[in-house]
Structure formats: structure tokens, C-alpha cells
Structure 1
Amino acid sequence: MSDNWGDDDGIEAEPFDVDDEPTAEREEREPGRMFGLDVAEVVESMARPAIARTLQKAVRDVVNEVVDAEVTEQLDPSVIEELQAQAATAARRAVGAALDELDEEPANEEPELYFGSVDEFVRGFLLPNYKRRVDGQRVMWAAEWWKYAEAVARLDALWRAWEHLRQDAQTGMSVWFRDHAEHHMSILLSTDGPFAAAGEGKNSENVNDKGEQLPYIAPPEGLFPDVREVSA
């Protein structure tokens, strides 16, 4: 036997790269269930959106290419110059309008009053919502409340506070009852308050029965004008 075995019978050995390993074909496996999931169902649900995204990207690339080409062809120097001029004008106007708004002082408008006078407030809100038994002995009130200066001042304060706190839809009325109504009404209804003399004698108009509204007699016309009309 010859030592030059590669020369025997005219056969030459082909070079072999040790890094080149034959690729094994992926074995076909029927999809089943794994970890509680139907593999085929999961793949199918993901494949369709993936295909749609790929097709959309391909179409979008074509559309962008065509649009760029068409727009570039249409935009000759005169068209570009006109477009730039119009854009510059619009930009200057927008900046000017924005600066004008910054220069303007924010309007500090007071919200419109719900009631036009303390009398309207007493009739429209206080009497229906603050009912107390008035016996003229332990609890005092005067139907002609408008004859008592302190009572008018306190009721006016209640009205103004109510107008302000009604703007707070969350806790406004709770604060009004706690901090304003309970404070002023406890004084007005007390035996040593401004209505102390209203229970003397046979003043039946100054008492009521349980569950009824506080006694009320309308003030003279014009005594409490509607401030909404006066300020209008």
C-alpha cells in the first residue's frame, strides 16, 4: 500500500471545515396543548394580526414612496415660495394672538347670585331647610325678622356665606351648616338673642307647631331690592 493514500485510484479528498455541521431538519410535531393552552389556537390568533401588520407596512412604504415622488414633482420653486410665505404669515398671526392673550388680565368675574336679596334667601332656602319648633318661651323667632337689625345682619351673613359655599359641590353645604347656620341660628333662636322680646304677650304669629317652617311675614315692598337688578 502506498503511503500517499490520497493518490490511490485517482481519488482526491475534499477539504472539510470542522465548524460546518450539518443542519438537522426540524421535526414535525403535531401542535397540542401545553401549560393549559391550545398551541395551534394561540398561533392562529397571533398569525393573522402579524400578517396584517406586515402587509400594512409594505403598502405604507409603497404609498409613502409614491406620495413623495408626486409631491416633489409638483413642488416647483414658485409653489414652494408661496407655501413658505403663507406659512410664515399664519405663524406670525398665531404668535401675535397668543401674546395678546398672555397680556390680557384674567377676568375675575364673581359668580352670579342665586338669590337676589336676604329676604329671597330666607323664603327660598332657609325656611324650607331649617325647620325648628318655636314656642316663644324656650325657642324664639320673629315673623317680622326684618324689624330686628341684628337679625337682618346675621341672616344677610348667612345668605352671603351660602352664595359662596354653594360653589363647592363636595363639602360646601356641610361647611355652611356647620360653621355658619348652626352658629347664627342658635343665637337667633335663643331666649337672649335679638328675638327675645318677640315671645312676650300673645304674639301667635311668632310661634309654630312641630315640623312647620319658621314664622314668616313678608317685609314691606322695596325694603330688600334685588341686588342682581341693581348691579345689572
Structure 2
Amino acid sequence: MSDNWGDDGIEAEPFDVDDEPTAEPEPGRMFGLDVAEVVESMARPALARALQKAVRDIANEVVDAEVAEQLDPSVVEELQLQAATAARRSVAAALDQLDKEPADEEPELYFGSVDEFVRGYLLPNYRRRVDGHRVLWAAEWWKYAEAVARLDALWRAWEHLRQDAQTGMSVWFRDHAEHHMSILLSPEGPFASAGEGKNRENTNEKGEPLPYIAPPEGLFPDVREAAQATTNR
């Protein structure tokens, strides 16, 4: 039986697959590019760069030789002398300018003492109801060392932060006033023994300033006057 019969009994015609010949690349071209044209377009700039480099190298050699010829020892010595003189003058001028510039001065204090700060700023601006039991304060605050230290710290921080017109006071209230005042007003704070005081002098009503009795004269001298006296000497 012929080998050309298929499984269904129908004779299958044999066929040949003709492989198409692969096209040969055109001479001088690869991937559709004219190699000679590409090389030619690159050759001119490369030649120009090579010539420029050669000219620069030659020019540098000529300049170096000319400078070496002109710079005999006497000329070099004169150049060194003039450079040293110019350097000394420049340094002297810079030092002279520094002497003329005013030194950065510390801003003048707004309040001259912690007592003035307490009277002039804290009492009008930090009002709390003081009942002598749950919330404490001493009218004679200056008798309590810790209270004086904390209030002095509040004053110094305020003097510094008032220079910041944007967020200075916000930072002072948040990071300084609220911290120290919460301790000062606490029943466990430095005024724990103050109580209501004589005739309830250590208490106030809602909306009133914190209780205050002036310290003895001279206890808190004005530091601005002391600084001015030192400057005038």
C-alpha cells in the first residue's frame, strides 16, 4: 500500500517547502544604514577636535617656554615681593574693617528685674483663680526661693522669645509659662505652705490678677541700670 494514504483512506498529495533565499545585504550597508555615510559624518568633527587639541598642545608648549624664558630669578623675586606686599595689605585692610564694625550687642532688657516682670507682665496676662487649697499662690512670692528661681527663668525666657515676632510668645506660653506656672500653682509646689494667708491675702476671685505684695526695696535691683553704669566707666 502507498505511504501517501492518510488515516481516513484519502490519498495525501506530497508537497515540497521551498525555502526562500535570505536577502543578501547591500554592499556598504548594515541595518539600513550607509556605513560610509555615517563614518564620513563622524570623521570631520573628530578631525576638527584632533586638530584643535594639537594646536592647544603646541600653543601651551610655546607659552610655557616663553614664560620660562621671561621669568629669570630677578623677575621671580620681584613677583614674590609684590605678592607678599599685596597679601599683607589685604590682611591689614580686613582687620581694620573688623575693628570698625560694631560688635553684636545684646538687645536691651524690656524689664529690669523679675519683680518688674511679675508686676508688669505676668500678673496682668496670666490670671487664675486662687483659692488657697486646690490652687495656691503666695502674695509674698519673693520669700520662696524656688518660686523666685522659676519666675526669673520665665522672665529671661520671655526677654529672649519676645525678639521673635512670629511665634515667640506662643513658644513662651507653651514651653515655659504653662510648665512653670502649673508647678507654682500646684498644691505640691513651692507655695504648699502658703495657704490662704492672713485675711486671705493669698487668694483672689475669678478674673482677678494673682495676689501680689511688693518685695522690700532693693531686693530686686534694676539690672539695666547696673549694665549702663558698667558701660559708662
* Bin of the TM-score, shorter chain as denominator length: 0.5 to 0.7
What is the CA–CA distance in structure 2 between the aligned matches of 1:202 and 1:225, rounded to whole Å? Answer: 28
Name which of 122, 125, 149 aligns with 1:126: 122
- Tell me by how many angstroms 1:203 deviates: 5.1
What is the CA–CA distance in structure 2 between the aligned matches of 1:132 and 1:164, rounded to whole Å? Answer: 25
Give CA deviations for 1:61-83 in whole Å, capped at 9, x if unaligned: xxxxxxxxxxxxxxxxxxxxxxx
Whether 2:135 is the aligned partner of 1:139: answer yes
What is the CA–CA distance in structure 1 between the aligned matches of 2:106 and 2:99, rounded to whole Å? Answer: 21
8 Å contact kept, 2:136–2:192 = yes
What is the CA–CA distance in structure 2 between the aligned matches of 1:159 and 1:200, rounded to whole Å? Answer: 26
- Tell me by how many angstroms 1:231 deviates: 1.3
State the one-letter code of the partner of 1:192. Answer: E
- Tell me by how many angstroms 1:101 deviates: 1.8
Q: What TM-score do the two structures reach when normalised by structure 2?
A: 0.56
What is the CA–CA distance in structure 1 between the aligned matches of 2:104 and 2:162, rounded to whole Å? Answer: 18
Q: Judging changes above 3 Å, is the alpha-carbon distance between structure 1 residues 103 and 222 closer, same or farther for their aligned structure 2 residues? A: closer
Name which of 194, 205, 212 aligns with 1:198: 194
Partner of 1:227: 223
Whether 2:177 is the aligned partner of 1:176: answer no
What is the CA–CA distance in structure 2 between the aligned matches of 1:221 and 1:201, rounded to whole Å? Answer: 22
**Matched residue SS, 1:199:** coil
State the one-letter code of the partner of 2:204. Answer: N
Q: What TM-score do the two structures reach when normalised by structure 1?
A: 0.56
Partner of 1:158: 154
Q: Judging changes above 3 Å, is the alpha-carbon distance between structure 1 residues 130 and 200 closer, same or farther for their aligned structure 2 residues? A: closer
State the one-letter code of the partner of 2:222. Answer: D
The equivalences for 1:27-106 within 5 A come to 100-102=96-98
What is the CA–CA distance in structure 1 between the aligned matches of 2:145 and 2:199, rounded to whole Å? Answer: 19
Whether 2:202 is the aligned partner of 1:216: answer no
**Matched residue SS, 1:217:** coil
Aligned sequence identity (%): 87
- Tell me by how many angstroms 1:227 deviates: 0.3
**Unmatched tracts of structure 2, length 5 or more:** 1-91, 229-233
- Tell me by how many angstroms 1:99 deviates: 6.3
Whether 2:116 is the aligned partner of 1:114: answer no
How large is the Cα RMSD of the aligned pairs?
2.4
Larger Rg: 2
State the one-letter code of the partner of 1:130. Answer: Y
Q: Which segments of structure 1 move beyond 6 Å, counting only runs of 4 or more? A: 96-99
Tell me the matched-pair count. 140
- Tell me by how many angstroms 1:200 deviates: 5.6
**Matched residue SS, 1:138:** coil
Q: Judging changes above 3 Å, is the alpha-carbon distance between structure 1 residues 129 and 201 closer, same or farther for their aligned structure 2 residues? A: closer
Give CA deviations for 1:115-144 in whole Å, capped at 9, x if unaligned: 000000000000000000000010000000
Give CA deviations for 1:7-47 in whole Å, capped at 9, x if unaligned: xxxxxxxxxxxxxxxxxxxxxxxxxxxxxxxxxxxxxxxxx
